[in-house]
Each structure stands twice: as structure tokens, then as C-alpha cells.
A and B are shown apart, each in its own frame.
Chain A
Amino acid sequence: MHVIDGASDLLLNATDVAKHYGAVIALRSASLAVRPGEVHALMGANGAGKSTLVKILTGGVRPDGGTILVRGKPFAAHSPAEARRGGIVSVYQEPALIPDLDIRSNLRLTQSPVEATRHWLAELGLPDLDLTDLIRDLPLASLRIIDLARALAIEPDVLMLDEITAALPANLTEHVLEVIGRQKGTDRSVIFISHRLIEIAAVCDRATVLREGRTVGVVDVTAGSENRIVALMLGDMVRDLPARVADAATSSGRPADAVPRISARNLSFGTKLADVSFDLYPGEVLGVVALEGQGQDELFDIASGSERPGGGELLVDGAAVSFRHPADAIRAGLVYVPADRAEALLMQRSVRENIALPFTTRFGAWGPIDVRGERRKVDKAIETLQIDTRAAAEVRRLSGGNQQKVTIARWVAGGVRTMLCFDPTRGIDIGTKQQIYQLLRDLAAAGAAVLLYTSELKEIQLACDRAIVIFGGRIVAEIDVADADEATLLRAAYDLRPEELMPEEVASAAVESAAVESAAVESAAVESADPGVGGPA
């Protein structure tokens, strides 16, 4: 092992990279130093600036400050094509393949060597792929492998892999990790972005951790370094922990014969959800915690009637339901508040019309609208939610927070039994957030059931009674609100066992076996071998 001194030996050297969007600072001072022949993990919680740094390195976004050198030469890209000429090739979460062209044409489009790509396809476990197959006709897992094989065939200085193993079956994951591991010791490097710490441990040499737009540490990946990585991602999060908005309804206070408002039984959906079961009781706010893309979107799509589950069933008030359309879910009392307000609102219409929409669209109600009754309900909802109606003529002119209140108000106006909230406080101001937490608590106190997915972990303790944690499409933990501090939730979200329950030998055994076996197969083995360790309660 040779000592590397000075920046001249670095393959990629990004220092003090900064980027802001108006007043919002996405990156303050991010640095990333990648040596030749290493697999380097880039880590960070939601909002740490990871995706902004990735966009800068792939030519999607221009930085406001800092320097980036690739093999000592300045790197500045305005498009993925320029990034590639500068030596950085990325494999995105969504494959960059043209659906209406066949594989060969896609290779020609990027001027990628066909034989080398074929070689890597074989190495990655898809030796029999017909290059005349249309991309449109292939499964997502194959597309990710094709995208990766093409990138490997180009032999870039830096290969950036964003969640490459997401949605891959275990055998392909194994091939992918093995091939990535083989890049070590060459004169090229890999930047590896993954939520799966077990994979980081298996293939990465070092990890750079971002928090709040800064690089807060570079860790040598060794046995047990996961805990150090998570500690860096969390930072000093215990400060400014606000008090609970209201007292939670404890599970012990629930009558023994209470019927859950919603019961999920072994729900599955493609490769995204597997065997998801939970109960949501009236009078309860149940938090859902997950890193991006762990299957929470699909869970909410199923519950709100936009998608039908691949397997398992959904029970409402104890009776099995099968939603063909969101209208079915709404009739069953399951109403949905999406994160993207543009999905829910008629942006060009008034606040009043937006709130009244659910009760004017009731089936068979094609006749005249009961204007007076509607106005009464709408006025009440506006008052309950304290919606600022100064720009009420067009919803798009309202602030984000007020828009979100309108999406909630339309359901509150008609009386809520079950509300499904998907990250309702995303991108809105702190005051409105507080009002929304309070509203959710009030709804629960009035007997409604609320399922709340949030990307801000501290919201769990502010608004929920308990939380379930989803990782890789499965529920990996259920945590009572009293224990649901950010550190615990983040650990659970990364599928790490609680610190005190993770003996040294289990941790190191996990890392060692991961190096030889598939990560997915292996993590299942650890779970079954040690069922007492922090499994779902």
C-alpha cells in the first residue's frame, strides 16, 4: 500500500464546490477527492447536497464556486456529453437509454464500442442479450445492466454509479458488485452512491460524507465503519429538538377489540414492495420512514387507489377492498395528500373550487351544485386551516404552504376518516409545517387515522404515535414515538441494527461475508441467524 501525498495523484479532486438556487443554499463547501483505482462512496442524508454535487459532476448544473480537477485538468461541463469528454461518465437511476431504439442503436448513439459492451454484459450476468431487442421491451433490471455495461465499455476515468443496485435481483446485484470491485487497482475509479451500507462495506475503499452542503468527513471503509458514517451523516442533530405538539395516543390506551381502519396484509408490488403488513388504527398518526425509493411511493399508490397491488390485500375497517380507481379509495374514506401539489390542485382555478372539487365530483351528482351548502363547508375548511385567501382567485399564486393547506382542506371540508399524507411538508415554511402537524394531531384526536410518510425524520416525533421503517420494499422496523429520535430512525432507515445491540463480531462477520456473497442474500442470512437483534417488534 503506497502513501498518496498531495493533490497531484488524485484522479478527481473537487474542492469547496458551492451552489445556491436563489436564497436556498444547496452546497456550501463540498469536497471530494478520489484516488485512481479506488471505489469511493458518496454519502449523505436527504438534503445534504449529494444530488447537487452529482448534477455538477455530470454536467447538469454549473457550480457557483470551487474547483474541480480530473487528472489535474480543470473540469467544467454543461452537458453529460461534455462531462464524458472530461472523463466522467454516469449511470443514472433512470437508465439513459432510448426506449424506441434497439440496444445496438443505443450503443451507436453514444459511440460506445459494441464488442466491449458485449463483454461487460456477459461479465454482468446477461450474456445472451440480443442486441436487436428494443429497449422498450426489456425489463428495468436489464436496462440498468445495459447502461452499466455501456459505461464500463467507454472506460471513463471516473465512473459514477447512482443507486446502481436498486431494483436489481440478487444474482445481478452480485455480478454488479463483483465487477465494480474489479475496478480497484486499475488506473480508473468509481464513485458509488448507495443507500445500502452493506454494499458500501463490500465494495468501497473510502467514503465521503456530506451534511448540510459540506463535506464533513472522509472515512476509510473497514469493518464497523458504518456506525462512523451514520454518525457523520447525523452530525449534531440533538440540538434544537422541539417539544411534542400533542400527546400521542399510546398503543396501550387502545381498546383490545379495536378494529384497524386500514390493515395491509403481505402487500407486494413488482420488485418495489414485498410482504408489507401493518395496521393503522382510528385516532392514530402512523409515520412511515424510508430513504428515497424504498417502496413508499408504491405503498401510497396502492392505498390511494392509483395502483393495484401485485399480491397481498388491503383491508379497510376489517373488510378486504380492491381499488380500481382513486375514486374507489375516496369512497372507502382513504384520501390522499401528495407531496407534489401540482398533482392535486387545479392550479388555474380558485381556492374555493379546489376545496369544493371532491364533493362536486361525486358520482351521479351531475346536476346543479348546492352552492350554499358548498360555501358553508368551504368557509369552514378555510377557517380551520387558516388559509390566506388574499390570492384566492388562482391557486398557483398562493405560497407553497398555502397550496398544501388547500390540498388538505378539500378533504377536511368533507370530513376525514383516513388521510394518506405523502411528505406533505416538503418545501414549505416552518410556521405552516407546525400548523400541519397540529392539524394532523387534531384529526387523530377527532378519531381519524393518518398515514404520514415524511422525508424529515424529526417530524415523526412531532406528529406521529409510532413509525414503521421501510427498506428495500420491506418493513424492517416498527418504532414507538418515544424512541423515534432522528439517530434511531436514520439507523433503521439504513437497515442498521441499533448500536448497542450490534456486537462487534456480528458487524464484522456481516462485512466479511458480504465481500464474498451477494449483499442481498447475505443480509437475509444475518437476519435469520440472529432473529433477536432489533427485528420488527
Chain B
Amino acid sequence: MVDALAPWARRNVWTLGLVGLLVVFLALTKMIQPNYGAPGIQGLAISILPIAFAAVAQAIVVISGGIDLSVGSMMALASVTSAVLMQNQGDAFGVAVVVGVLLLGLTAGAINGGLIVATKVPDIVVTLAMSFVWAGTALLILNTPGGGAAPWLMAVISGPLGNPWLPKALIVLAVIVAVVWLPLRRSTLGLTLYAVGSSPLAAFRSGVAVGPTKIIAYALTGFFSALGGLALTASGGVGAPVPGSYTLQSVAAIVLGGVSLAGGRGGVLGPIIAVIVLALVRTDLTFLGVDPNLSTAIQGAILIGVVMFGSLVAMRKVRA
């Protein structure tokens, strides 16, 4: 068992390091705020859910060698669509809305990917342009926060499950990622995502259909963005047409989470832990009474510091 884990550990040093960092920040939080406990953890889990899905979405597309600057806008579109349709409707219809919104995300992502593959315009340009399209569409549907969430949807992520230390939001995140990502990661499709991101030429010569793979990667990113949008609706109870800087936060999270912006390297666990770490930093700084603007700057400094430290360690390893 230990032997089997050793290679996994060697390859996931970064993720393990992040777990260490998470433990440190949890301890720090407890020190700063001795009565931080189960309710705090539950609140944290709910507040990170949208950005965690955004980070997973961004991780998938970056692993396959692209980037998606429309993640935040797709979340907004999913959030307002679900909120408008679900308002004052029954549970069964709510389920249909959830399925429909996920399909909407999948389609929006596939449109992003299709445009990139068909036009050969750089991914940054296409997704930046499409971010305006999705954001504008979201505002057309709902120009101020409004609508409503199905009660069951809100119940799914609020409160604990059994043990008060086990927030439902975290379980929902774990289950969805496990059900969607793990089988994908182990499938040939998952391999092709990594292959296309790692070396498009070698992938092409290995018989991978590079274009379709990229479109699928963007579609998956749309799918997880839609999950993020649903999480926004569920956690706030209303649709959020202008949800905030989720796109850039998702990029920050994947960088901190060990995904290489050059593609081909990383996973989704690292970015999720990175999201939690970044949220804890914010919580701690709030507890310490630091000016919120300064705390944003400190988050940025921590991001650069950790990534720089990681590169230095990697460089030393190469030299040794």
C-alpha cells in the first residue's frame, strides 16, 4: 500500500504541499479566532463552492493547452437562467432547469471551443470576446440580482451532513468532481486532454483528433462553469448577473493549484485546495481587522510568493 502510494506522492508533491499549507492556515485561523469551529467551516464551504467549480472549469481547459476568460460570464449566464426559470416553480421543474442549465453551459463552452478551432483566432481573444457576449446575454435575461432558487437546491448545499464538521457543500463538490472528473481522468478522453495540452504535434502524430479534443475541453469548462453558476444561485438564493471576478480568481487558483499554464500538467484537486487556502487567507485577514483592500493586495503577494517558491524548488531539483 505504501509502495503504491509512493509514486503517486512523488508526482503530486505540489498538491501535498498545498494540503500542508491548508493545515497551516486552518491552525492559524484557529489561533486568531479561537472560537472558529464547525459553523465557520460550513460558511467557508458554501462561500467557496462557486469559485471551486470555476477553478475546476479553468483547470480542465488549461490542462488541455487553452485558457477560458469567459468562465465568470458563463457562470453569470447559468446563474440568471436558473434563477429566472426556477422562481416559484415546483421541485420537478427545478431538476429539469438544473439539467437544462448544465446543457446550456456545455453548449456555450462548445461554442467557445468551436470558434477557436475553426477560426484559429487565439484562445485568449475568442474567450475574452465571448465573455462579453455571455455577460451581455446574462444581463438581458436579468439586469439586477433577482429570480429565485428551488428550495431543494439551496438545501443541498447548506448545513452539515451528519457530523457538524462535514458541510454538505463540500460533499456536493467532492461527489460531483468524483463522478465527472475521475472517470474522465482515467478514460482515453482524459488522456487526450493531457496529450493535446502537453504536445499538440506529438498528440496529432499519436492519432489524437486535436480539434475535437479541444472543443470537448472547452465544453467541459462550460459545464463546470454552469455548475459554478448554479452554486451561485443556490448559495445566494437569487440569480447573479454580475457575479464578480471569478475568471481571474479561477486563473489564480489553478496557478496556485499546480496547473501549468503551458498545458499538460496538473489536476483538479490542487486548484480546489488552492481555492480553500485563498479563502482562508481572506478570512484570517478579516479576523485580524486588516483593511479589505490591503488584504486583496496581500492575497496577490501570497500567490506570487508561493508560485515563485515552487519554481525555485523545481529548478533546484533539475540542477541536482
Contact = CB atoms under 8 A, between A and B. Distances in A.
A81 B195 CA distance: 15
Nearest to B192: A109
A100 B207 contact: no
Contact of A81 (B11, B191, B199, B209): B209
A106 B194 contact: no
| B interface majority secondary structure | helix
Nearest to A133: B7
A81 B205 CA distance: 7
B205 A101 contact: no
A108 B191 contact: yes
Nearest to A132: B7
B171 interface: no
Given A79-B207, A81-B207, A109-B195, A99 B202 contact: yes
B265 A98 contact: no
Nearest to B266: A100
Interface residues of A, number: 22
A98 B204 contact: no
B85 interface: no
Nearest to B195: A98
B19 interface: no
B202 A95 contact: yes
B208 interface: yes
Interface residues of B, number: 21
Nearest to A130: B7
Contact of A98 (B11, B188, B194): B194
Interface in A469-490: none
B191 to A, nearest CB: 5
B163 interface: no
B206 interface: yes
Interface in B175-206: 188, 191-192, 194-195, 197-199, 201-206
B206 A109 contact: yes
Contacts of B208: 81, 109
B265 A80 contact: no
A353 B7 CA distance: 53
A105 interface: yes
Nearest to A85: B207
Interface string A83-107: 0100000101011111111000110
Nearest to B196: A98
A81 B197 CA distance: 18
A110 interface: yes
Given A99-B198, A100-B199, 5 more contacts: A79-B204, A79-B207, A81-B207, A96-B205, A110-B207
In this complex, which of A90, A92, A97 has the most chain B Cβ atoms within 10 angstroms of its Cβ?
Answer: A97
A92 B206 contact: no
14 contacts: A79-B204, A79-B209, A80-B204, A90-B205, A97-B202, A98-B194, A98-B202, A100-B199, A100-B264, A101-B191, A105-B194, A109-B192, A110-B206, A110-B207
Given A80-B204, A81-B209, A92-B205, A99 B264 contact: yes
Nearest to B200: A98
A16 to B, nearest CB: 27
Contacts of B192: 109
A98 B205 contact: no
A105 B195 CA distance: 10
Given A109-B191, A109-B195, A132-B7, A100 B205 contact: no
Contact of A108 (B188, B203, B264): B188
Contacts of B202: 94-99
Contacts of A100: 194, 197-199, 264-265
Contacts of A109: 188, 191-192, 195, 203, 206-208
A80 B206 contact: yes
In this complex, which of B195, B204, B206 has the most chain A Cβ atoms within 10 angstroms of its Cβ?
Answer: B206
Contacts of A84: 207
In this complex, which of B191, B198, B201, B205 has the most chain A Cβ atoms within 10 angstroms of its Cβ?
Answer: B205
